[in-house]
Amino acid sequence: TISLVALGKDGSMAAGTTTNGKAYKIPGRVGDGPIAGSGSYVDSLVGGCGATGDGDLMMRFLPCYQAVENMRRGMSPAAAAEDAVRRMVKRFPDIQAGVVVMNNKGEHAAAASGWHFTYSFRGQGMNKTHVVQVDPI
Amino acid sequence: TAPPVVIHTWGGPFTVAADAAHDALTNARSVLDAVQIGGAACENNQCDGTVGYGGSPSENCETTLDAMIMDGNTLNVGAVGALRRVKHAIAVARHVLEYTGHTMLVGDSATLFAAQNGFKEEDLATDQSRDMCEHWKRNQCQPNSWIGVVPDPKSSCGPYTPLENGASETAPGQDGGDIKGRGHD
């Protein structure tokens, strides 16, 4: 799964997700990827979020909606991402999840559980994409 | 990070997405275009086998695609679920966003919508995805997502029928347990 968030120079934002889902799924199964608030979510007034992991569980928590709303209530991207992941870990301690968050100023962070997660970013003046390693909480 | 900025899940083979999306933004494309172009780059490159055609086969050995795209200015959303036989899932999601008042289309009806919008229907399986599926079958269909059925889904392939006593105590959501090895999106 890849989930992306883009921030333009004018402050506009968009987000999206595309995936082939989980291997060996029961035919007809749809995961978290296309669910707004789960696979990704964005509000240009606040920021955006992308997520990946165990979609059958994550789609019950809408972690990206949670992360964006956390930022709306004043949290930093790092705190917002961590809170969204901790809410899932509290009920499913073994969950594999990764959440990447960016506010509408271009500040970004991520949180993960169950694996060593990575995320990528590229901004103004960067001649290549940078990859950030994220330890599980 | 100074805008324009693109961030996304994962590194390694996925960075083609950030490069493509950032290039779009620096060439005056919209943020929606950038997200679509970045996602499409991963679909075309089959990033890590978890995006695009030829990955994550179902029990029937079919690859289906899920995608969504969201406009942060309007909160408009377009999405497709279990899209069959069309490679360009995030582009179809963009069409749902741009040309319908709906949020999500699924399955064969999403495929029909895509075809009506000019997208080509084609087999999404590859030799690799067929091999994955055949190996899974030879491995007694492990892992799978069945619970509370006979024959025992932890050791046998289907077809399955529900246990007379109802759902198994290991059902995810009851105790949060037994999710290791279930795979992920």
Burial class (CB in 10 A: 0-12, 13-18, 19+), B116: exposed
- Collect all residues of chain A within an 8 Å Cβ-Cβ radius of residue B39: 2, 4, 16-18
Q: How many beta-carbon contacts under 8 Å exist across A and B?
A: 310
How many percent of chain B have pLDDT more than 70?
91
- A21–B136 C-beta distance less than 8 A: no
Instruction: Give the model's confidence band at B183: pLDDT under 50 very low, under 70 low, under 90 confident, else very high.
Output: confident
- Collect all residues of chain B within an 8 Å Cβ-Cβ radius of residue A62: none
Pair A84, A99: CB distance under 8 Å = yes
Which positions ≥6 away from A93 have C-beta within 8 Å?
A: B176
Q: For residues B6 and B22, give the distance between their C-alpha atoms in angstroms, rounded to a whole number.
A: 6
The whole-number average pLDDT for the span A65-90 is 98
- A51–B66 C-beta distance less than 8 A: no
Residue B171: the pLDDT is 52
DSSP 3-state of A134: strand
DSSP 3-state of A12: coil
Nearest-5° angle of CA B38, CA B123, CA B91?
Answer: 25
Residue A19: the pLDDT is 98
Is some CB atom of chain A closer than 8 A to the CB atom of B159? no
Nearest CA in chain A to B48: A1
- B182–A6 C-beta distance less than 8 A: no
The whole-number average pLDDT for the span B140-150 is 97
